[in-house]
Structure 1
Amino acid sequence: MKVTHRYSLENFKLFVKPFERVINTITLAGGRFIFVGGCVRDVLLNESPKDADAEVYGIPLSKLKQALELVDIVSEVGKKFGVLKLKNYPIDISLPRLDTKTGPGHKGFSVKVDYSIPFRQAAKRRDLTINAIGFDPVKNEILDPYEGVRDLNKRILRAVDSKTFVEDPLRGLRVAQFASRFFMDPHKSLLFLCQTLDITELPHERIFEEIRKLLLLGKQPSKGFLFLKEAKLLEQFCPWLAHLSESRWSHTLLALDQAVTVRPTEEDTALVFMLSVMCSALDPADTRSYLKSCVMKEKLKGSVSLILEKGHLILEAQRVANKADLFWIGRELHKTGLSWRDLLLFLKTMNPKALWVTDLCEQVFATGASNPKNLEPVITGDHLIKKGLRPGKEFNDLLNRCLKIQYEQGITNADRILEEIL
């Protein structure tokens, strides 16, 4: 999908307004306030940043902190980076810094904070040109030493510096995420750089965090996954997906892009849904292996496995055998915090043109199998105790028989069910 944009400095006026008091206070203290990073990129893309990052040039950290304390309550985080947070403003403010590679991984850097360096030198540590753009709100001026605005207009992802880019292997995953989120194409030179990266040295949680963003924020996930495969990064953290047959791979990409159009708004639900689609072509054992490496709640991993298990059974049969099965499946889903809506969304995404999926939707809602109240057992342990029975193996067997009668015969009267088993 080709997407173009036109940016206007008017967009920055709206973005800057909530921070005017902060900017004016720093300026009066002798500092130069510059918005940096993703917030500048997002404003240029006509999007609304949820928060902001800024660098202050010309004054030391002590003076910066003293000035900010006139505005709000200040807390210092990441002391070696010199980052200041304000209680009532969604912004991180820091001094410009220089990063030097000293060891493996994304944390193997020494950091030198230096408020006297020019913006161009400070921006050189950024990964991509689109993230190396600054905005000076006092001069109403865009600072673009690496032609990031040009690359935004051309929808190209390009490294700021080829030597420093490869020092942090996490950047290869960020490229995939940005390609997916902003409909952008990595430059050939960037692809070559990413093909040299070893992401196996990264912690699992950092890898999964970038994939999570790709799945939850991506507008065209296929773009990101195609890049990951071409850059030989996918095989390093999910070889089962990288080695799918061409037909299964193509279907997975199509399904991921289809999934974006119906992606739930609640984060955990959306993550379960998108991961289920991502793993839909994998064997169950391979899915378990991949999920094991994902740093997420165990409950969510179980939800993905259940959606895939039930989803594949239904996709293969193209139906649910009988009314009772609708309730049994609904009960299993409900136990893990899911519902029939989640499973039907997966089925519709995997087979969007299938009429039988539409029929199944109507069947589920017509029978009431989607209503959690209808899934609850009519007969509980209290009913059996009142009949003189004691808890034990036979006790549990009787409860299961009661639930079977309830689901299979549609009986919801407690006395009638008890008559059937006693």
Structure 2
Amino acid sequence: MYKKLIREIWENNGEAYLVGGWVRDRLMGATEDEIKDIDLEVMGIKREKFEKILQKYGKFKKVGKSYEIYILNNSIEISFIEAKTSIKECARRRDFTINSIYYNLIEDEYLDFFGGIEDIKNKLLRYVDKNSFLQDPLRILRTAQFISRFEFSVEDSLEKIIIEEKEEILKVPKERICRELEKIYMLGIRPSEGFLFLEKTGVLEKLMPELSSLKEVMQDRIYHPEGSVFKHTMMMLDVLSKEERTLELFWGILYHDTGKKETFPGFSGHCEKSQEIFDREIIKFTESRELIDSVRRLVRYHEEPLKMLLKGGADRISVKKLAVKVDIDKLLKLYRCDVLGRGRSDNSEELDIIESIGAVYQKIKNDLKPIVRGKNLIEWGVKPGENFGEILKELYEAQLEEKFENIKGAREFYFSNLAVGLVYKGI
């Protein structure tokens, strides 16, 4: 569809070029079906005529202040300049040379003014223009994203200006920072490389001081021969395949051990402390209550599989009680990252407990729905009141401990164990 749009713009005396990710990814060997980012640069056509053409291809909206952008069908991004403009000057305002290459579909011709094609061959990140690069400080994080995503190296001059201008990243809205950090993990071949670059340039210390400071916290060499908590965390980022990664796991990995600095050297209670730090820090990046609640649970309970291992294994009751507190599937993935994200050669016991917990969970996951409801208590003669919540809580705890398995057993348990105690309490 976008190819027809391009041709029609040229037929109406305008100019339209494919730019950015489409061109870069094509030059890196991706097929057109594999390329998801469709970015166009349109110029030299009257706005009224341009918008009339766009209407044929779907719905569009305009965004942006410094540079006007049209979004077509929520998928195609079009930079629009009404006047005839130098393509080279348009390319100059782009971030990296590898993103400054223009493709003329009509002529089947690449326009490369700043050596982007050669940089792709050499797997090198260079800025196009120092002044334009700094106009959007988010490009600091995009550098880290491309390092992890494409395994490119960074030209010294680019690294230097990031070090010099790292404070600028704090001017970027938190939502944009959050999305770019998440891209480092979700799109990266080796996400750790992106974060190591941010640490090297001092950017990570500005954004995540609690994480950056973990490089000073050393661990027991028997269980963590890799050394510092920071190195362990970086290794964890690379464990899962792209298909397995989620945003909850990303934030869980970053913050799961942040409490170890305050609980050094024994690390007792570090899970609880890590959750406190996460709760305090995550609001700098997102306000998504669903994401925050899911991650804080992962951080709080990330050592539970190890505790089960030390107690002799996974049993039904322990897994049930854990499953009502945290998403077991995500917890086991986080624990797998924890186990494999270190320098030990033999992790068989920990991997076995992951498999064991997973097997038990598959057997009990349908038994977690509360058997007793408020209407059942009323049927048993309990008057509605503040005690309802307490009674239901105690009954659910008994259900998880398998003291009954149906409503009949629940009623018998209530009258045998709870009713007398509630009367004694004056309820």
Instruction: Give TM-score, length-normalised by structure 2.
Output: 0.81
The reply on whether 1:275 has 2:251 as its aligned counterpart is yes
Describe the shift of the 1:46–1:256 C-alpha distance in structure 2 as closer, same or farther (beyond 3 A).
same
Q: Which residue does the alignment assign to 2:161? A: 193
Q: How many residues align?
A: 376
How far apart are the structure 1 equivalents of 2:404 and 2:357? Answer: 18
Against the structure 1 CA distance between its residues 318 and 42, is the aligned structure 2 distance closer, same or farther, given a 3 Å change threshold?
same
d(CA) in 2 for partners of 1:421, 1:62:
75
CA displacement 1:122-152 (0-9 Å, x = unmatched): 1100111111111000110111111111111
What secondary structure sits across from 1:195 in the alignment?
helix
Deviations 1:247-268 (A, max 9, x none): 111111111011345624xxxx
Counterpart of 1:287?
Answer: 278
What corresponds to 1:94 in structure 2? 79
CA pair 196-318 structure 1, distance change in 2 beyond 3 A? farther
Match of 1:223 in 2: 193
Q: Determine the structure 2 residue equivalent to 1:233.
A: 203
Judge conservation of contact 2:148–2:189 (CA < 8 Å) in 1: yes
* TM-superposed deviation, 1:68: 4.1
- 3-state SS of paired residue (1:235): helix
Q: What's 1:303 paired with?
A: 294
**Partners in 2 of 1:169 and 1:368 — Cα distance?**
46
Q: Counterpart amino acid of 2:320?
A: F
> 1:85-128: CA deviations, max 9, x gaps?
444x9423333xxxxxxxxxxxxxxxxx4632221111100111
Residues 60-83 of structure 1: per-residue CA shift (max 9 Å, x gap) = 3334334445x4346450375443
Is 1:351 matched with 2:327?
no
Counterpart for residue 166 of structure 1: 134
Note the residue ranges of structure 2 that are not aligned, 5 or more in a row: 217-227, 260-273, 341-345, 416-427
- Which residue of the partner structure matches residue 109 of structure 1? none
CA separation in 1, counterparts of 2:283 and 2:256? 16
State the Cα distance separating 1:323 from its structure 2 match: 3.3
The separation in 1 between residues aligned to 2:353 and 2:372, in whole angstroms, is 28
Shift of 1:310: 0.8
2:50 matched to which residue of 1?
64
Query: Taking structure 1 as reference, are residues 260 and 235 closer, same or farther at Cα in structure 2, changes over 3 Å only?
Result: farther
What is the CA–CA distance in structure 2 between the aligned matches of 1:126 and 1:137, rounded to whole Å?
Answer: 20
Q: CA deviation at 1:49?
A: 2.2
**C-alpha displacement of 1:216:** 1.7
How far apart are the structure 2 equivalents of 1:331 and 1:400?
12
Aligned partner of 1:46 in structure 2 is 29
Aligned residues of 2:185 and 2:191 also touching (Cα < 8 A)? yes
Decide whether the 8 Å contact of 1:65 with 1:74 is kept in 2.
no
Is residue 2:319 matched to residue 1:326? Answer: yes
| Distance (whole Å) between structure 2 residues aligned to residue 292 and residue 261 of structure 1 | 26
**Which of 37, 41, 47 is residue 55 of structure 1 equivalent to?**
41
C-alpha distance in structure 1 between counterparts of 2:337 and 2:58, whole Å: 48
Code of the residue aligned with 2:258 in structure 1: it is: L
Q: Of 28, 31, 37, which aligns to 2:20?
A: 37
Superimposed CA distance per residue, residues 290-346 of structure 1 (whole angstroms, 9 cap, x where no aligned partner): 21212141121111110111113443664567532211111122xxxxx31111111
| CA–CA separation in structure 2 for the residues paired with 1:23 and 1:410 | 69
**Matched residue, 1:210:** 180
Q: The residue matched to 2:164 in structure 1 has which SS?
A: coil
**1:406–1:82: structure 2 CA closer, same or farther, 3 Å change rule?**
closer
**Alignment partner, residue 19 of structure 1:** 2
Cα displacement string for residues 367-410 of structure 1 (whole angstroms, at most 9, x for unaligned residues): 44665421112222222211111233443333233223222235
Deviation at 1:206, TM superposition (A): 1.8
- Aligned residue number for residue 245 of structure 1: 215
- SS of aligned partner of 1:325: helix
Kept in 2, the 8 Å contact 1:180–1:219? The answer is yes
Distance 1:245 1:91, change over 3 A: closer
| Structure 1 residues not aligned, in runs of 5+ | 1-17, 96-112, 265-269, 334-338
Q: Is the Cα contact below 8 Å between 1:76 and 1:82 reproduced in 2? A: no
Deviation at 1:274, TM superposition (A): 1.3
The amino acid across from 1:38 in the alignment is: G
Please state whether the residue corresponding to 2:214 is helix, strand or coil. Answer: coil
Describe the shift of the 1:421–1:307 C-alpha distance in structure 2 as closer, same or farther (beyond 3 A).
same
- Which amino acid is the alignment partner of residue 115 of structure 1? A
368 and 205 in structure 1: CA distance in 2 versus 1, 3 angstrom threshold: closer
- Aligned residue for 1:59, secondary structure, equals coil
Residue 262 (structure 2) aligns with: none
Residue aligning to 2:329: 341
Cα displacement string for residues 150-197 of structure 1 (whole angstroms, at most 9, x for unaligned residues):
111111111101233223221111111111111111211111010122
Query: What residue identity is the alignment partner of 2:254?
Result: M
